[in-house]
Amino acid sequence: MARSLKARDHQTANVILDFRTLSVLKCSMSGVTVPRDFDRIVEYYHQHYESTITRLFKENGYEIVKPDPTTPQEQPAENTAG
């Protein structure tokens, strides 16, 4: 957790992510607690704040790996039992 995080930050922030441990410390929207799914929350914020999210991962020793668009994605097998 960031050493500069103040008690006031915990009270006023809606979302607090820890990029060192890849965890959600707090996540609520309009007073409603949201599931603490780090990957899902980061994916959402990455769309809007790509350079900041990329920097936070890099500063904490992680790298964002995007799927290769030329490699076909595996499709789930269809149920052929009958």
pLDDT tens-digit profile of 9-59?
888 888 999 999 999 999 888 878 778 899 999 998 999 999 999 999 999
DSSP code of residue 68 = P
Token pair, residue 36, equals: 């603490």
Residue 4 in this model has a pLDDT that exceeds 70:
yes
pLDDT value at residue 38: 94
Token pair, residue 57, equals: 């991962």
Token pair, residue 68, equals: 């290769």
* pTM, rounded to two decimals: 0.67
Give residue 16's region: left, alpha or beta (phi > 0; psi -120 to 50).
Answer: beta
